Every structure is written in C-alpha cells, then in structure tokens.
Amino acid sequence: MYYLDLSIYLSIYIYIYIYNVVLHSSSFLLQIMASVLKVPARTIFEHQENFVALSGGRTWKSTVFRRRRLSISTLSMSSMPIQCLEKPLTASQNTGLPIMVNGCTGKMGKAVIESAVSAGLHLVPISFGSAEQSGQTVQVGGKEIEVCGPSDRENILASVFNEYPNLIVVDYTVPAAVNDNAELYSKVGVPFVMGTTGGDRERLYKTVEDSKVYAVISPQMGKQVVAFLAAMEIMAQQFPGAFSGYSLQVMESHQASKLDTSGTAKAVISCFQKLGVSFEMDQIKMIRDPKQQIEMVGIPEEHLSGHAFHMYHLTSPDQTVSFEFQHNVCGRSIYAEGTIDATIFLAQKVKLKAEKRIYNMIDVLKEGNMR
C-alpha cells in the first residue's frame, strides 16, 4: 500500500455514464481498466465540482483533491514484472555515496540537494553554473557549495572524479546546456543522472551511447507518474484501438515560467493515439495564467510557482460513456525523491559492473529498490 506525500496529488479516475442499459463495449472497457489499474473505488471518487474547459464553455466534472493522505493500491503490471535481482543499497551504504548536483541555484537543484542530504548521501561542495554565477558560494540544505562557471570545467570535473571515484553527477541545469554537459560527463567518464529537459535529445542519446558511460536519462523523474505512464503503455500495447471513435480533451497546468507543452502530457496522448483516439498535440489546452489556475483548476496558491496538473477526458461518439484520467503534482519533492532513487540505482549498477548503457526511470521502477 502506497501513501502519497501531502504535497502530491496523484489520482487516476474513470467516470462511466450509461443511460439505459449496460453497453457491451463499456463492460469490455471496464475489464480492460480493471486488469491494468487496481484502485479501490472509495479512494477515487471524492467531492465533485464543475470544471469549465477553456474552449466551447463545456463543463467537465473534476475531482477536488483534499489535503490528506490518499491510500492507493499497488499498480498491477503483469506484463512488466518487477525484478528484485539485486539487493538495494542500505541506508548505511548510502552514507558516503558522493553526489554532485549541477544547477544547485535552481529550484530543482535545491530540492535534489535537500533530498540527498536527507537520504544520507555525501554532497560534493562543487556545482557547475553559469558564467554570471561563477565564484559564488551558495548555501543549500545546510551545506556550502562553490559554483564554477563554464571555464576549465573538464579539469575541475576530472579532479572531483579522481577524488570521489564513486561519484554520481546529477544535472538540473538549463535546456541549452544539456548537450554540452552530457558531452563533458561522457568525455570524463563520470556516471550521471540527467533530469534536465530540452536540448537535442537525439544528439544526447547518441553522445552517451557512443561513450559507453553509465547514465539515467528521463524527462520525468516522478516515480508514481512514471508508473502511470508505464500502465498506459501496457494498455496501449495490449488493447490497440480500444478507444476508437472517442474524442479527447486534454488540459495541463504548470507554473507560468514553463513555456513549453508538458512532455508527460505528450507521452500520455501518444498512448491514447495507439488506443485509437484521433488527437493532435496542438489541441492541448495549456494553462499558465495564475488566476485561471486558482479559480478553474484549483491550484493551491502556495504552489502556483511549482505544480504539474494534467487532465485527460474521453467521450464516446454517442456521448453516453465518459472516461477521465488525472494526475496532479504540487511542489517538487516527487521529482527530487525520484532523482535520488535514480542516483542510488546508478551507483548500484556501477558497483556491480553492470552493462554500461542509458537507463531510464522504468528501469529504476522495475528494480524494485525504491526507498
């Protein structure tokens, strides 16, 4: 049984409206969902309020999430068995595991540092930043960290790696730095976790694959969100075309500073497309206005600067059947905790001399060694 943190509102819920008789297709779809997601009904349905879509004045039903701990049953993924083949690092083994967090002045970098310190990892007091930040000493999580600029980064990283041979680098810098940073880590040969999104992803993967360095690369570090995406992929693979003819509406809300469309939303939509739904990515409703986020979406005011709310609403051609999926995140702790799990996972791979390759968060989940 999982208990989600108060700052995380992660829910998957399905509404089915049948007016006269139970449709055979609805029964079939229920069996599909029951086989993929086993969630007690009492944890899914709560107080409902109208959610007005941005287009057409359509009214959606949206669950209002109360600030309490939600009890959610374990996700069943029979076609993707969890393999606990390797013993996880214990808390005492985590102590002393060196971690270097690049982008320590950013919100995600700070969150990761705080989680690393809490997990007992050894924070290396050096971080790469911009030229403007070079030479600064910042205090995060009770630790002082020296920020180094772009100049002489290779020698600095090589020196740190020589001092800490078990070093794992975590990158939460900026999209424009993704490729140069990956090339640096690959050249020095240091294992790294890339949490920064953006950049040339094809070039990123090629760089790392050619260098044969240990790496975890994932645009989504939230473990529970990744599990949901995995369940969607399984459903899409096992039941292609199950939602043929259904219409789809998608809304995603993030902090105003996020200018691009949610990559998580795109991943979920790609699954729906495999399930037979016709939908283009430019149809996604992006909400970045704080007033709309508070009044329409229900974002807590204290989380306007850091949240990720997603809603997917499916309707049958005759309007008698409706499905709704939602996953909401307030704050950054879910991503920071997932990043630390990925760091410990990668350290274990290095220790056991496993295959040098690019791993992702699905690999971390399948290992079954999360804290």
Place of tokens 């529970």: 224
Cα separations in angstroms, 171 against 180, 197, 216 = 12, 10, 10
Query: For residues 328 and 312, what is the distance between their CA atoms, to the nearest angstrom?
Result: 12
Distance CA 62, CA 325 (A): 10
Spot the catalytic one: 110, 223, 254, 313: 254
Both structure tokens of 220: 């989504």
Out of 258, 266, 285, 356, which one is annotated catalytic? Answer: 258
Verify whether residue 254 is a known catalytic residue: yes
Helix, strand, coil share of the chain (percent; to 5): 35, 20, 40
SS3 247: strand
CB 74 within 8 A of CB 1: yes
Q: Which amino acid is at 49?
A: E
Contact 165, 98 (CB under 8 A): no
Distance CA 88, CA 369 (A): 5
Tokens 């409706």 correspond to what residue?
322
Pairing of strands 215-217, 168-171: unpaired
Residues 6 or more apart from 166 whose CB is under 8 A from it?
Answer: 97, 98, 347, 350, 351
Catalytic residues: 254, 258
